[in-house]
Amino acid sequence: MASLLSPQLKRLLGYVRPYSVRLTAGVILLAFVGLAEGMTALMVKPAVDQVLTPAVYGSSVPLFKIPWTGNYVYLNKFFPPSIHNVWTIFAITIVILFTARAIAEYGGLTLIQYVGQAATRDLRNKVYERVLRQPIDFFQHNPTGRILSTVINDVEKARLALSDYLADLFQKSFTFVVLVAVMLVINWKLTLGTALLLPLVVYPVGKLGKKIRTSVEKSQTRLGDLSQILEETVSGNRVVKAFGMEEFESQKFREVARRMLRDNMRWVRAFVLTSPLMDLLGGLVIPLLLLYARNQIQHHQMTSGDFFAFLFAMLNAYMPLKRMGYVYQQFQAAQGASTQVFAYLDRVEERLDEPNGNLLAPFSREIVFDEVTFAYDGGSAQVLEKISFTANSGEVIAVVGTSGAGKTTLVNLIPRFYEVRSGVIRIDGVDIRNVTIRSLREQIAMVTQENILFHDTVWNNICYGLTNIPRERVIQAAQTALAHDFIQELPQGYDTVIGERGTRLSGGQRQRIAIARAILKDSPILILDEATSELDSESEMYVQKALSNLMVGRTTFVIAHRLGTIRKADKILVLVDGSIRESGTHAELLERGGSYARLHDLQFAEEVVLAPAAAPNQNPLNSRNKA
């Protein structure tokens, strides 16, 4: 059973170390439970030889003979001379023994359960914190459902090992050791004879444990796949319904569930085989034991009480042995389930505070991109190549281009969601790689196309990341974002829970809550990534006004699909295949007749084509006004 103490399992059990005092107390109590079990086995001898045999007289109650001395331990020696009746001595001992055992078992199991539960809490918190501190590309390469399955389901498997099975392991181990000692005291030859068949069970159980570990690891991977499908279909339920894909998604879910059933049955078959192997051992031992004992009793080398005490101890030692086989296999299952957990824990997290990093001073002058080149990890193609421009304090820099040109990637380099491959980005002359990420991001606010709002109140969503904010400031931020009026109309106003991702609000309302959050953060650098692309005309109007309020006094980077929203930008960068093809104001770029002008003309042509045709002899302007 060397694999029981594998490095991975040792690492898992290492989480109980902070609770060593409670663990030690629990182990001591469970050790007493084991001693009580052994004492109960020894009580069988006087029960059969004296209590159940009325013809036997006297007050001596021998329990066992001390090996190699020939001296007996007498139970009546632990009682005052006034208590000399065998039945009375036996009855009082049984009551005290069982009461003390029950108290010790309750206390020991409770303490060890607490240790396991607390260790699991620490493990789950550590995994969550490690996942939370991963760089952006981690979430791009790991599906949400699998991350959720690892943090919840895989850690739950570890919880069973650290609480339920750890308590079982200690209790059954002590009980087994004590009962084997009792068997040796009663008849050591008989004990050695029964032990000869033990390797016939231990070896196959060890082999089965390895198979269980591998199968459980595969099973947990399937469970992650199921979680991923469930997460996608629940969050994208409108798309599923709109395309009539319910049956397709159900079939995909059923197929993964079928594979999971196959993997589960592999470890289940190995798991349930342990108990029959243990029973086979009992079936071989008991007939031989009866034959030997019959001969011993006939020659007066063993009393009936000795035999029944030995049989009681052996059968009760068999149950802990059987349970330890079960516990061993569950530890193997936990080891398989924790593989992905430790894979996450071993990942290097994003460093918010660089060891030699400086705090970034408050932004005041300019942001400079100097020959910046970037490519994603594992990708050979350059996403951005030799990007150079300067954004002065208070300027609005718009970034336009076709899909895939690298617009979002460019602005994501500013808060260091990704690291540049070559070149440098400077803020007020300081290379942002030489400052702490935390101090950098404190000066940046973002409003994106898909703003994430949390299943919480409007108030907490606006104040996200900030504490002890005066009510007046929050309301002022909401008013500036043109959100205060509709918030007041909600059932509980600012205390209204807005649902997962803000689903109880309209798209425009969600954007204005996000804008209020950015206003309250009051960062000097602002990034707007397609902030109005998914809104209808009325919602866009409100959001544009809110964004205008937000942009006042801030250096703003705007990614916009609709070119009409960036006409007033101080500088427009036109990205083509990861490079800046053109740069200038709206008027300058139109006058040049280059890529920006073609994008502008193409978008204007699309708007003309998509506009509703006016009726004959009808003024289009009047028609628009009537609408």
Looking at this protein, which amino acid is placed at residue 528?
L
609, part of any domain: yes
Same domain as 188, residue 86: yes
Same domain as 511, residue 392: no
Give the pLDDT band of residue 624 (cuts 50, 70, 90): very low
298, part of any domain: yes
- Name the residue range of residue 518's domain: 446-522
Report which DSSP code applies to 358: B
Measuring CA to CA, which residue among 373, 324, 391 is closest to residue 527? 391
Tens digits of residue pLDDT in 109-118:
899 889 988 9
Give pTM, 2 decimals.
0.69
Same domain as 533, residue 473: no
For residues 163 and 297, the answer to whether their CB atoms sit within 8 Å is: no
pLDDT higher than threshold 70 for residue 605: no
- With a pLDDT cut of 70, the percent of the chain lying above it is 85
pLDDT higher than threshold 90 for residue 100: yes
pLDDT higher than threshold 70 for residue 566: yes
- Name which of 278-282, 367-371, 386-390 the model is least confident about: 278-282
Same domain as 367, residue 277: no
547, part of any domain: no
Same domain as 415, residue 472: no
Q: Which 3 state secondary structure label does DSSP give 39?
A: helix
pLDDT higher than threshold 60 for residue 617: no
544, part of any domain: no
Q: Supply the DSSP string of 17-69, one letter for each residue.
A: GGGHHHHHHHHHHHHHHHHHHHHHHHTHHHIIIIIT-TT---S--EEEEPTTT
Domain endpoint, select from 293, 316, 345: 345
Same domain as 430, residue 319: no
Give the pLDDT band of residue 319 (cuts 50, 70, 90): confident
Q: How many distinct structural domains can be found in the chain?
A: 3
Phi, psi of 526 (to 5 degrees): -125, 135
Report the distance separating Cα 248 and Cα 252, nearest Å: 6
Report the distance separating Cα 506 and Cα 398, nearest Å: 27
Phi, psi of 459 (to 5 degrees): -55, -50
Residue 627 pLDDT: 32
Same domain as 128, residue 178: yes
- Please state the separation of Cα 347 from the chain's center in Å: 14
81, part of any domain: yes
546, part of any domain: no
Same domain as 276, residue 364: no
**The domain that contains 398 carries what CATH number?**
3.40.50.300
pLDDT higher than threshold 70 for residue 608: no
Same domain as 140, residue 107: yes
353, part of any domain: no
Domain endpoint, select from 316, 345, 374: 345
Report which DSSP code applies to 606: H
**The domain that contains 200 carries what CATH number?**
1.20.1560.10
Same domain as 454, residue 439: no
Report the distance separating Cα 129 and Cα 141, nearest Å: 18
Residue 344 pLDDT: 86
Same domain as 254, residue 142: yes
1, part of any domain: no
Residues 298-319 have a mean pLDDT of 80
Same domain as 322, residue 221: yes
